[in-house]
Amino acid sequence: MIELTAAQVAAATGGRLHADPDVTVTGAVTIDSRDAGPGTLFVALPGERVDGHDFAARAVEAGAALVLAARELDGLPTVVVDDPRAALGELARHVLATVRNTSTGAEAPKVVAVTGSVGKTTTKDLLGQLLTPEAGHESAIIVPKGSFNNEIGLPLTVLRVTAATRYLVLEMGADRIGNIAYLTRIAPPDVGVVLAVGVAHVGHFGSVEAIAKTKAEMVSGVVDGGSVVLNADDLRVAAMASQVAPGTTVQTFGTIPSADVRAEDISVDGAGRASFALRVARAGQDGEQRADVALQLVGPHHVSNALAAATVALRLGVPVADVAKRLSSAKALSPHRMAVTERPDGVTVIDDAYNANPDSMKAALRALAVMSGRTRRSVAVLGAMLELGDGSRAAHDEIGRLVVRLNIKQLIVVGDEAYHIHEGAMQEGSWGSESIFVPDLDAARAMLDESLEPGDVVLVKSSLGAGLAELGDHLSMVKTTEDNNK
């Protein structure tokens, strides 16, 4: 973070100062006392299980210069605010605005924000790989690892901004109306991206229409004269073009002919990796530019994510040829997202257990079917898709039926909340032991350790709260008996 005195932190957050006003924060901002060090700012967040205020003294002992808290803390340099979480957002907004206002022209950081029901993290990771060469060095680009996309994670990412930052790539998540609007007030994007409108978190939103309304908050959240990048293949997203403010540029991506940046001649190899011709319309000119892309990411659904990242990079001045080359060498960076492990015993593990909704579940199952082909046994280990509300039973039932239609050879359904996947498979025509329900991770682990054979391709997929990421880690680290005996 840029250096701020205690007085400046208090002014930015509307807090009451209980410290030397000249005490200076010279390090990072953290909510974990274990990460505190010399010059850091520790934010004491109250939680369901632990209260950050109880760890403030430990943070100061480790070197923290200042604490942002909801109450006075005896003997500790503190800025007291009504709500530390909201104050964290205000501080991030102040820091980014300060850096933007004190930078000029090309030196000012460009903020790119991505939202959508699926694909946010992958698109964010791709953008990092497309833009890092343009930044000149890795320290000039900020791309959070994992999904720091909420009212805590996003401000912590924004607070890493310094005068040296050229690109700030953010992921913006939502589980209720107003979330994206709040996040864009903290970090108004120069380029805002909307990937898709699906049914993720529909249990909170109440309807897909409410989800679309929330994602559209990105369109009105960009800076004056900024750009919006929209998925032309998603009718709800494409319709958001009508909501942009005057002076905002709209660019589209997709597979339909009218998209500004589109993929044609898509093919998928035996490893589930897509190749396509990247075609880019040239604004105000006849004809278009073309380059070939061969993705290293597993799953044809990543074509859409790649197109979104390409559209942003092109908007920021990266040549088409460079975009295609960098996309073709880009790797999966975040764990539990279509992470493929080739085990020494010949089993292929696809770990996609970070999150799940009906759209991403279908995409992962189709990738499994492609990768297993006709010669390898396909195994789908599926857990619950959470936060689907009243439509949860029908959504899980539909996934079970799709498993059968894709001719997945073995289905293992884990946990009571996912039971209707098993029910759907049985209703669709699965018989015998083709679909098996197990109550918990231990039962699933024991069954898989006993039954997996060389040549099998196994997919592990669920919402994060269902816990199958732990099973994905286990399966990815299993070694052959021979290896274990060495």
Known binding-site residue numbers for ATP: 116-122
Residues 219, 240 contacting (CB under 8 angstroms) = yes
C-alpha to C-alpha distances, 187 to 89, 156, 310, 460, nearest whole angstrom = 9, 11, 22, 35
Look at the chain and count its residues: 486
Q: HEC states along the chain?
A: CCCEEHHHHHHHHCCEEECCCCCEECCCEECCHHHCCCCCEEECCECCCCEHHHHHHHHHHCCCCEEEECCCCCCCCEEECCCHHHHHHHHHHHHHHHHHHHCCHHHCCEEEEEECCCCHHHHHHHHHHHHHHHHCCHHHEECCCCCCCCCCHHHHHHCCCCCCCCEEEEECCCCCCCHHHHHHHHCCCCEEEECCCCCCCHHHHCCHHHHHHHHCHHHHHCCCCCEEEEECCCHHHHHHHHHCCCCCEEEEEECCCCCCEEEEEEEECCCCEEEEEEEEECCCCCCEEEEEEEEEEECCCHHHHHHHHHHHHHHCCCCHHHHHHHHHHCCCCCCCCCEEEECCCCCEEEEECCCCCHHHHHHHHHHHHHHHCCCCCEEEEECCCCCCHHHHHHHHHHHHHHHHHCCCCEEEEECHHHHHHHHHHHHHCCCCCCEEEECCHHHHHHHHHHHCCCCCEEEEECCHHHCHHHHHHHHHHCCCHHHHCC
Annotated binding site: 116-122
Q: Tokens for 213, please give them.
A: 């309304």
Within 10 angstroms of residue 62's Cβ, the number of other Cβ atoms is: 16
